[in-house]
Amino acid sequence: MSAHWKSRKLAPLAGVLSLMALSACGGLAAGASHPSAASSLSEAANVAGAHKSAASKSVTIYACLTAGKLTRVSTTAPKCPAKSVLVRWTGQSSSAAPVKAKSSPTPSSTPGKTTSAPTAPTATATAPGGTTQGTACVTSVNNGTCGPYTFSGISGGGQTEVIQDVWNPISGAAQTLTAFNPGDWSVSAKMPAGNTAVVSYPDTQQLYTTTSNTPDPLSNFSSITSSYAESGPSASGDDYEAAYDIWAGTGSSDYAQEIMIWVDNHGQRPAGSDVASATIDGVGYKIWSTGGAGAVGHPVSMVLDSNESSGSVNVLDDLKWLESSGYMPAGSGLNQIDFGYEICSTGGVAQTFTLSGYGIKSA
């Protein structure tokens, strides 16, 4: 278990060539890390050049997005290979000024206290089956962020974002986030075979810290429930889990307590020891703690007795059980709820992790 809070705001595109250059490298000067950007850019130039005779007319351009690289660029929709996303956008056939990324302060090193880094591209995209999904935010930057969003699937709390969060980058690791909204995003990740340390935690992040910068007391809530639907790879070399990462604290001691709820585990072992079992609202968990049975304030993981790729979690009842059983301080409050994937290894090949449905309802 580790803290996950890397963040960066993303900005929209304008113009065909600037979109191609940015989408291949996550909005920053990533030519060194993504050599394939040059080929995508030249393809875009060819497409744009084919329409010079139609000055200032709108042109719809299509491409296949795989692991941060755009291929099969065309003015007609290509058939994209597996593990690719069909992306489309509208540009002008005449030259357009490149987008200038807006800079803001360096991201915070404290969970949830997010400040913004430079912006990255968006594009109108369709699913492989042809269903329009709206505007996609695409980034391959380690601390890339999509949002903030106004999202009907989440009620209560404050800022909502989808974050790339490659917080432990290692040699040979690569990841691209494609987000349509907080309940509809995916990552293409390539992590070295045999790696067992968590490299990234791409996730939907929901803040609850109050305007006075303190945790929102659990006593203020009558209910907090969350639903999810996700899918990930299942090859023998894959090492990851889908999980909630919740941050809590007491009084002015915010972000002092980390709680994870693992719903779909593939080869991972929680931090600490297996110290207890619990059945909460009919759901069975194994309780893991870095401090032992009943150790207050130590990081704790609640692991479902069996993997569930979709379902619902009574977050408030789970937290109240931990509080009453001595794993959380009395009078705890809520800072942040995240849901995503802790990714260690994909066997050295690119794999896709998809969140297709997600929401939080609180009262």
Q: pLDDT tens across 111-127, in order?
A: 543 333 433 455 444 44
Give the pLDDT of residue 251. Answer: 81
pLDDT band at 90 (very low <50, low <70, confident <90, very high): low
Is 90 exceeded by the pLDDT of residue 234? Answer: yes
- Residue 346 CA to residue 276 CA, distance in Å, equals 31
- Which of 6-20, 36-50, 196-210 has the lowest average pLDDT? 6-20
Question: Which of 140, 173, 191 is where one domain is finished?
Answer: 140
User: What total of structural domains would you count in the chain?
Assistant: 2
Between residues 276 and 21, which one has the greater pLDDT?
A: 276
pLDDT band at 253 (very low <50, low <70, confident <90, very high): confident
Say if CB 73 and CB 61 are below 8 A apart. Answer: yes
- Which of 11-20, 236-245, 258-267, 320-329 has the lowest average pLDDT? 11-20
Average pLDDT over every residue of 133-155? 93
Mean pLDDT of the chain: 76
pLDDT band at 191 (very low <50, low <70, confident <90, very high): very high
Based on the fold, state whether residues 96 and 215 are members of the same structural domain: no
- Residue 179 CA to residue 125 CA, distance in Å, equals 10
Between residues 136 and 72, which one has the greater pLDDT?
A: 136
Based on the fold, state whether residues 265 and 321 are members of the same structural domain: yes
| Percent of the chain surpassing pLDDT 70 | 63
Based on the fold, state whether residues 205 and 317 are members of the same structural domain: yes
Average pLDDT over every residue of 94-106? 33
Based on the fold, state whether residues 117 and 13 are members of the same structural domain: yes
| Percent of the chain surpassing pLDDT 90 | 59
Say which CATH number the domain at 192 has: 2.60.120.180
Written as six digits, the tokens of 259 are 């709680």
Average pLDDT over every residue of 52-68? 54
Per the structure, the complete domain to which residue 70 belongs is given by: 1-140
Between residues 82 and 334, which one has the greater pLDDT?
A: 334
Tens digit of each residue's pLDDT (9 = 90 or more) over 274-307: 999 999 999 999 999 999 898 999 999 999 999 9
Based on the fold, state whether residues 14 and 56 are members of the same structural domain: yes
Highest mean pLDDT among 52-66, 67-81, 316-330 belongs to 316-330
Based on the fold, state whether residues 90 and 50 are members of the same structural domain: yes
Is 90 exceeded by the pLDDT of residue 320? Answer: yes
- Which of 49-58, 135-144, 330-339 has the lowest average pLDDT? 49-58
Is 60 exceeded by the pLDDT of residue 44? Answer: no
Based on the fold, state whether residues 271 and 301 are members of the same structural domain: yes
SS3 of residue 186 by DSSP: strand
In this structure, what DSSP letter does residue 253 have?
Answer: E
Based on the fold, state whether residues 354 and 224 are members of the same structural domain: yes
Question: Which of 91, 119, 140 is where one domain is finished?
Answer: 140
The 10 Å Cβ neighbour count of residue 351 is 23
Based on the fold, state whether residues 163 and 252 are members of the same structural domain: yes
Phi/psi for 87 (5° steps) reads -115, 140
Based on the fold, state whether residues 182 and 154 are members of the same structural domain: yes
Based on the fold, state whether residues 167 and 288 are members of the same structural domain: yes
Based on the fold, state whether residues 312 and 234 are members of the same structural domain: yes
Residue found under tokens 């492989």: 128
- Which of 40-54, 79-93, 152-166, 258-272 has the lowest average pLDDT? 40-54
- Which of 79-83, 152-156, 248-252, 330-334 has the lowest average pLDDT? 79-83
Question: Which of 116, 140, 164 is where one domain is finished?
Answer: 140
Average pLDDT over every residue of 225-238? 96
Tens digit of each residue's pLDDT (9 = 90 or more) over 324-346: 999 999 999 999 999 999 999 99
- Residue 26 CA to residue 236 CA, distance in Å, equals 30
For residue 270, say if its preceding peptide bond is cis, omega within 30 degrees of 0. Answer: no
Is 70 exceeded by the pLDDT of residue 244? Answer: yes
Give the pLDDT of residue 319. Answer: 98
Give the pLDDT of residue 254. Answer: 81
